[in-house]
Amino acid sequence: MPIHKRPLGGMAAAIEEPKKPEEPKKPEEITLSIPEAGKRYFGLSRNGSYAAAERGDIPTIRVGKLRRVPIKVLERRIEALAR
């Protein structure tokens, strides 16, 4: 015999599933790791990216012990070279 679903009444009908809180939006990235920047902008390998950073072809800044690539500075440098 088929099971018939019937609407819930009373208090059960008033109970809704709790809504999931919205995930906070990620802030826009302003820096990349050296390998990420090398791969994204130049198609370089990890070692090639670090070599380019050592030569000064990829601009870097120090944040504690980390070396990061500021995206805006890199994009400005690429635009200047394209002119």
Strand order in the sheet with 31-33: 31-33, 66-70, 61-63
What pLDDT, on a 0 to 100 scale, did the predictor assign at position 83? 87
Domain ranges of the chain: 28-82
pTM here is 0.66
Q: Between 65 and 19, where is the model more confident?
A: 65
Number of C-beta neighbours around residue 32 at 10 A: 19
Number of C-beta neighbours around residue 65 at 10 A: 5
Yes or no: say if 78 and 71 are a contact pair by the CB < 8 Å rule: no
Yes or no: say if 69 and 34 are a contact pair by the CB < 8 Å rule: yes
